Amino acid sequence: MAVASETIEDANKEGTLLEKHVNSHVGNFIHMFLTVLAVLVMAAACIALFQIVHYGFPQLWRAADEYQTLHQLLQNILLLAIAGELGLLLLFHRATAAVEVVMFVIARRMVATDVTAFDLLMGSIALSALMAVRFYFLPGKPK
Protein backbone atom coordinates (compact mmCIF):
# COMPACT_ATOMS: atom_id res chain seq x y z
CA MET A 1 0.00 0.00 0.00
CA ALA A 2 1.62 3.22 -1.12
CA VAL A 3 1.34 6.44 0.84
CA ALA A 4 -0.11 9.30 -1.21
CA SER A 5 1.41 11.99 0.95
CA GLU A 6 2.61 15.24 -0.58
CA THR A 7 5.52 15.34 1.84
CA ILE A 8 6.83 11.97 0.74
CA GLU A 9 6.31 12.87 -2.92
CA ASP A 10 8.22 16.13 -2.39
CA ALA A 11 11.01 14.24 -0.65
CA ASN A 12 11.18 11.79 -3.56
CA LYS A 13 11.75 14.63 -6.03
CA GLU A 14 14.88 15.77 -4.20
CA GLY A 15 18.04 13.97 -3.19
CA THR A 16 19.95 10.98 -4.39
CA LEU A 17 18.44 7.73 -5.56
CA LEU A 18 19.17 6.13 -2.17
CA GLU A 19 17.42 8.97 -0.31
CA LYS A 20 14.39 8.66 -2.59
CA HIS A 21 14.20 4.92 -2.01
CA VAL A 22 14.60 5.20 1.78
CA ASN A 23 12.06 8.04 2.05
CA SER A 24 9.48 6.08 0.10
CA HIS A 25 9.90 2.86 2.10
CA VAL A 26 10.12 4.54 5.51
CA GLY A 27 6.97 6.53 4.74
CA ASN A 28 5.13 3.39 3.67
CA PHE A 29 6.35 1.53 6.78
CA ILE A 30 5.16 4.31 9.10
CA HIS A 31 1.78 4.42 7.36
CA MET A 32 1.36 0.64 7.69
CA PHE A 33 2.48 0.73 11.34
CA LEU A 34 -0.07 3.41 12.19
CA THR A 35 -2.77 1.48 10.32
CA VAL A 36 -2.02 -1.71 12.25
CA LEU A 37 -1.96 0.26 15.49
CA ALA A 38 -5.34 1.83 14.69
CA VAL A 39 -6.80 -1.60 13.88
CA LEU A 40 -5.51 -2.97 17.19
CA VAL A 41 -6.99 -0.03 19.11
CA MET A 42 -10.34 -0.52 17.39
CA ALA A 43 -10.26 -4.28 18.03
CA ALA A 44 -9.63 -3.64 21.72
CA ALA A 45 -12.48 -1.11 21.72
CA CYS A 46 -14.83 -3.68 20.16
CA ILE A 47 -13.91 -6.24 22.81
CA ALA A 48 -14.46 -3.63 25.51
CA LEU A 49 -17.80 -2.69 23.96
CA PHE A 50 -18.94 -6.31 24.16
CA GLN A 51 -17.80 -6.45 27.79
CA ILE A 52 -19.68 -3.24 28.64
CA VAL A 53 -22.89 -4.39 26.98
CA HIS A 54 -22.71 -7.94 28.31
CA TYR A 55 -21.49 -7.26 31.86
CA GLY A 56 -21.83 -3.53 32.55
CA PHE A 57 -25.45 -2.80 31.74
CA PRO A 58 -26.90 -5.77 33.68
CA GLN A 59 -24.96 -4.58 36.74
CA LEU A 60 -27.22 -1.52 36.83
CA TRP A 61 -30.12 -3.72 37.95
CA ARG A 62 -28.15 -6.08 40.19
CA ALA A 63 -25.79 -3.77 42.05
CA ALA A 64 -26.54 -2.42 45.50
CA ASP A 65 -24.99 0.94 44.58
CA GLU A 66 -26.50 1.89 41.21
CA TYR A 67 -24.87 5.31 41.24
CA GLN A 68 -21.34 3.87 41.42
CA THR A 69 -22.17 1.32 38.73
CA LEU A 70 -23.57 4.01 36.43
CA HIS A 71 -20.53 6.15 37.12
CA GLN A 72 -18.18 3.32 36.13
CA LEU A 73 -20.28 2.59 33.06
CA LEU A 74 -20.04 6.23 31.93
CA GLN A 75 -16.28 6.20 32.37
CA ASN A 76 -15.99 3.03 30.30
CA ILE A 77 -18.17 4.45 27.53
CA LEU A 78 -16.06 7.62 27.39
CA LEU A 79 -12.94 5.45 27.27
CA LEU A 80 -14.42 3.68 24.23
CA ALA A 81 -15.04 7.06 22.61
CA ILE A 82 -11.42 8.00 23.25
CA ALA A 83 -10.27 4.74 21.64
CA GLY A 84 -12.44 5.34 18.58
CA GLU A 85 -11.23 8.89 18.09
CA LEU A 86 -7.63 7.79 18.65
CA GLY A 87 -8.06 5.19 15.91
CA LEU A 88 -9.35 7.89 13.56
CA LEU A 89 -6.46 10.15 14.52
CA LEU A 90 -3.91 7.43 13.77
CA LEU A 91 -5.46 6.72 10.37
CA PHE A 92 -6.34 10.13 9.01
CA HIS A 93 -4.19 12.64 10.98
CA ARG A 94 -7.01 15.20 11.14
CA ALA A 95 -6.87 18.14 13.51
CA THR A 96 -10.54 17.65 14.35
CA ALA A 97 -9.83 14.11 15.54
CA ALA A 98 -7.05 15.38 17.80
CA VAL A 99 -9.34 18.02 19.30
CA GLU A 100 -12.09 15.44 19.83
CA VAL A 101 -9.69 13.05 21.58
CA VAL A 102 -8.70 15.82 23.99
CA MET A 103 -12.38 16.71 24.52
CA PHE A 104 -13.25 13.12 25.42
CA VAL A 105 -10.26 12.89 27.77
CA ILE A 106 -11.36 16.06 29.58
CA ALA A 107 -14.95 14.84 29.73
CA ARG A 108 -13.83 11.50 31.18
CA ARG A 109 -11.74 13.28 33.79
CA MET A 110 -14.73 15.41 34.77
CA VAL A 111 -16.80 12.27 35.40
CA ALA A 112 -14.25 10.89 37.89
CA THR A 113 -15.27 10.63 41.53
CA ASP A 114 -12.35 12.57 42.99
CA VAL A 115 -13.02 15.77 41.03
CA THR A 116 -13.01 19.06 42.88
CA ALA A 117 -15.09 22.11 42.00
CA PHE A 118 -11.98 23.76 40.57
CA ASP A 119 -11.41 20.72 38.30
CA LEU A 120 -14.99 20.96 37.08
CA LEU A 121 -14.62 24.67 36.41
CA MET A 122 -11.33 24.22 34.51
CA GLY A 123 -12.74 21.26 32.60
CA SER A 124 -15.81 23.23 31.58
CA ILE A 125 -13.68 26.15 30.43
CA ALA A 126 -11.36 23.80 28.50
CA LEU A 127 -14.28 22.01 26.84
CA SER A 128 -15.85 25.32 25.88
CA ALA A 129 -12.59 26.56 24.42
CA LEU A 130 -12.04 23.33 22.46
CA MET A 131 -15.59 23.46 21.11
CA ALA A 132 -15.02 27.04 19.99
CA VAL A 133 -11.73 26.08 18.35
CA ARG A 134 -13.39 23.16 16.61
CA PHE A 135 -16.34 25.23 15.43
CA TYR A 136 -14.56 28.41 14.33
CA PHE A 137 -11.00 27.47 13.43
CA LEU A 138 -10.94 23.91 12.07
CA PRO A 139 -11.90 23.11 8.49
CA GLY A 140 -15.12 21.31 7.68
CA LYS A 141 -18.51 21.48 9.34
CA PRO A 142 -18.79 20.30 12.94
CA LYS A 143 -21.04 17.32 13.48
Report the predicted TM-score, pTM, of the whole model to 2 decimal places: 0.75
The pLDDT value recorded for residue 75 is 92
Over the chain, what is the mean pLDDT? 86
How far is the CA of 112 from the CAs of 19, 116, 126, in angstroms?
50, 10, 16
Q: What is the DSSP string of 38-53?
A: HHHHHHHHHHHHHHII
The pLDDT value recorded for residue 131 is 93
CA 80 to CA 75: how far, in whole Å? 9
What residues have CB less than 8 Å from 111, skipping those under 6 apart?
A: 71, 74, 75, 78
CA 67 to CA 3: how far, in whole Å? 48
* 4-58 per-position pLDDT tens digit: 555 555 555 667 887 787 888 888 899 999 999 999 999 999 999 999 999 988 8
* 126-141 per-position pLDDT tens digit: 999 999 998 898 877 6
In the chain, the percentage of residues whose pLDDT exceeds 90 is 48
